[in-house]
Amino acid sequence: MKQINNILYYLILSIVAAALLLMLAFFGSSDIRNVSIYDLVLFSGVFIVSCIFGISLAIRPGWYRRFTKDQNHNAKRKQGHNITRKHKGHHPDCNQFQNHTVIIRNRTICAGCLGLSIGCIISIFLMIFYVFLAHGKFSNIFYFFIFLGLIIIGLVYVEIIFPTRYTIIHIISNVFLVVGFLLITISIFEITGKMIYGLISILLSFLWLDTRIQLSTYRHSLICNKCNKECKMY
For position 76, what pLDDT does the model report? 42
pTM of the model: 0.85
For position 72, what pLDDT does the model report? 46
Answer yes or no: are the C-beta atoms of 176 and 157 closer than 8 Å.
no
For position 80, what pLDDT does the model report? 45
For position 138, what pLDDT does the model report? 65
Please, which residues have CB within 8 angstroms of residue 204's CB and are 6 or more apart in sequence?
17, 20, 21
Going by C-alpha positions, the residue among 175, 157, 200 that lies closest to residue 8 is: 157
> Mind giving me the DSSP string for 61-110?
TTGGGGGSTHHHHHHHHHHTS---S-EETTEESSGGGGGGEEEETTEEEE
State the Cα angle at 143 between 140 and 145, rounded to 5°: 110
Please, which residues have CB within 8 angstroms of residue 27's CB and are 6 or more apart in sequence?
none
DSSP for residue 229: S
Q: Which residues of the chain have pLDDT under 50?
A: 70-81
For position 64, what pLDDT does the model report? 58
> Mind giving me the DSSP string for 5-73?
HHHHHHHHHHHHHHHHHHHHHHHS--S-----HHHHHHHHHHHHHHHHHHHHHHHSTTGGGGGSTHHHH
Q: Quick: pLDDT tens for 3-36.
A: 788 899 999 999 999 999 999 888 877 665 667 8
Report the alpha-carbon distance of residue 202 to residue 185 in Å, rounded.
6
Report the alpha-carbon distance of residue 131 to residue 47 in Å, rounded.
12
CA distances from 204 to 10, 109, 143, 153 (A): 12, 27, 18, 12
Report the alpha-carbon distance of residue 132 to residue 16 in Å, rounded.
33
